Amino acid sequence: MGNTVVVGAQWGDEGKAKITDLLATDADIIIRYQGGCNAGHTVVAEGKTYKFHLIPSGVLYKNKLCIISAGTVIYPTELKKEIDQLKTEGTNLEGLRIHPLASITMPWHIDIDGISEDKTAKTKIGTTKKGIGPTYADKVGRYGLKVEDLYDEEALNSKLDNILPLKNKILKEVYGLREYSKEEVLNLCEEYAEIFCPYVFWDWQEVLSEALKTGKKILFEGAQGVMLDIDWGTYPFVTSSNPIAGGAATGSGVGAKAIDEAIGVMKAYVTRVGEGPFISELEDETGKKIQTIGAEFGVTTGRARRCGWFDAVIAKYAALVSGLSGIALTKADVFDTFDEIKICTAYKDKRDGKIYRYYPTNVNTHKYLEPVYETHAGWKSDISNCQSYDELPQNAKKYFARLEELIGVKIKIISVGPNRNQTIILENPMN
């Protein structure tokens, strides 16, 4: 128990922000370690709904450091909107820090994401069009800008002299998009420097070493989910970063040894936004029912989320690749009125009947796979006010126990509604 990573264990939107906000009570530092403003994180606190994209979901507490760390990509214009919105709502942003090594999304990244994803594009991923892929591509290609560059005139000038000629050629000749003059980009960079200025985490090494030495507690907030991970997800229908728990080690600058617990957040069913395989998807009335009761519409893009039964094959896979030490199971209350609930325990190949109990990573084969289900009786009662495990109906307990058995990881938190107090904590990973 101690420093904990909250990681999405499905295709995102599992309720990570609710769990992060909850565990943040016991944390001194909250670090968002990857992704960008593609994330949409909802926290309901004292009857008010907050939506975060880049700012860590622990920001509602005073006196905690909330770091947007080096593994993230930041589109300054969107970050400014988020900061302004939170300020208007009266949120104290004194603890907000932005890592000097975070990458910057430039307007051309947004332009390229937009055109690659427009209606005529042959292989759409269904991205959030926030420039995520193009920004990470430039970062990995050693062709990007970092927050610290904005405060170093010499470095910025030489980087832009290197970046702009080729970028403009690509924008114009490959994509038929507008070019950017150096003067225009320097002006933009000045604006960006002003946005970041009050928050840049220049003393991160002193602060984090001291925090580790003195036993301060760190909570790492993941965005997206394991199945959207660039290395481990349903590639190419993924995001461009590493949401898995290991991403917290590379993205936050404290090293893997500083992480004690990895809590995988899973809905009691599965959702997915955008394109890509989804074996337990329900394209029928049951899927619609889950979508309606679960209010499954995206926070960032407003798109309807595809819904399906809980998939224990991907849950087991997520447990492995993220080294999960516990599960936070969310949204079981969505099933309150259901007569029966199914769990996908394996996949069956329609061509030869072969059964897969472990996740087949080649997504090209997924079109041949169908879910193998087991059916459980519903609990047919309102669990949204249950405050303890004992108060849960027998059938709910049975369903949860079966999930634990299939995944091989303990459920440590059960969320039965969006509010902070609609949570049953069986074991707090932070203490």
The residues annotated as belonging to the active site are 13, 41
Q: Which is nearer to ligand GDP, 135 or 415 (CB)?
A: 415
Please tell me the distance from the alpha carbon of residue 211 to that of residue 65, in angstroms, as a whole number. Answer: 11
Q: Which is nearer to ligand IMO, 11 or 399 (CB)?
A: 11
Out of 7, 29, 40, 59, point to the residue binding ligand IMO (CB under 6 A).
40
337, 391, 392, 396 from 383: Cα distances, Å:
10, 8, 7, 9
Smallest gap from Cβ 131 to Mg ion, in A, equals 18
CB of residue 273 vs Mg ion: minimum separation in angstroms? Answer: 8
Q: Which two tokens stand for residue 375?
A: 């059916």
40, 251, 276, 308: which one binds Mg ion (CB under 5 A):
40
- Minimum CB separation of residue 331 from ligand GDP in Å reads 4
Instruction: Choose the stretch contacting ligand IMO; rule: CB under 6 A; options: 36-44, 55-63, 208-216, 249-257.
Output: 36-44
Q: Interface with ligand IMO by CB under 6 A: which range of 127-135, 213-221, 279-287, 410-418?
A: 127-135
CA distance 312 to 345: 5
* 56 belongs to the binding site for Mg ion (CB under 5 A): no
- Provide the token pair at 91: 């949120």
Spell out the alpha helix ranges (H) of 152-276. 153-169, 182-196, 204-213, 246-252
Beta carbons of 129 and 117 less than 8 angstroms apart:
yes
Question: Which helix (DSSP H) or strand (DSSP E) does residue 133 occupy?
Answer: helix 132-140
d(CA 99, CA 146): 9
Closer by beta carbon to ligand IMO, 143 or else 358? 143
125 touches ligand IMO (CB under 6 A): yes
- CB burial of 392-424 (b: ≥16 within 10 Å; e: otherwise) equals bbebbeebbebbeebbebebbbbbbbbbbebbb
The entry of ligand GDP, Mg ion, ligand IMO, none that residue 4 binds, CB within 5 to 8 Å by partner kind: none
Q: Which member of 7, 8, 13, 334 binds Mg ion (CB under 5 A)?
A: 13
> Does 274 contact ligand IMO by CB under 6 A?
yes
Q: CA-CA distance, 308 to 278, in Å (whole number)?
A: 8
Whichever of 298 and 360 has its CB closer to ligand GDP, that residue is 298
Which of 29, 74, 132, 406 forms a contact with ligand IMO (CB under 6 A)? 132
Binding interface with ligand GDP (CB under 6 A): 8, 12-18, 40-42, 44, 299, 330-331, 333-334, 415-418
DSSP codes, 325-349: SEEEEE-GGGGTT-SEEEEEEEEEE
For 42, residues 6+ apart whose C-beta sits below 8 A from its C-beta are 17, 18, 49, 50, 51, 52, 299, 418
Q: What does 130 interact with, of ligand IMO, ligand GDP, Mg ion, none (CB < 5 to 8 A by kind)?
A: ligand IMO
212 to 251: interface string for ligand IMO, x by CB under 6 A: -----------xxx--x----------xx-----------
CB of 268 to ligand IMO, least distance (A): 16
**Is residue 8 close enough to count as binding ligand IMO by CB under 6 A?**
yes
**What is the rounded distance in angstroms from the CA atom of residue 176 to the CA atom of residue 160?**
21
Least separation in angstroms between residue 206's CB and ligand GDP is: 31
Strands 306-311 and 269-272: antiparallel
Instruction: For 37, list phi and psi in degrees, rounded to 5.
Output: -85, 15
Q: How far is the CB of 57 from ligand GDP (least distance, A)?
A: 7
Least Å distance between CB 291 and ligand IMO? Answer: 14
Pairing of strands 73-74, 103-104: parallel
Binding positions for ligand IMO, rule: CB under 6 A: 8, 11-13, 38-41, 125-128, 130, 132-133, 223-225, 228, 239-240, 273-274
Binding positions for Mg ion, rule: CB under 5 A: 13, 40, 299
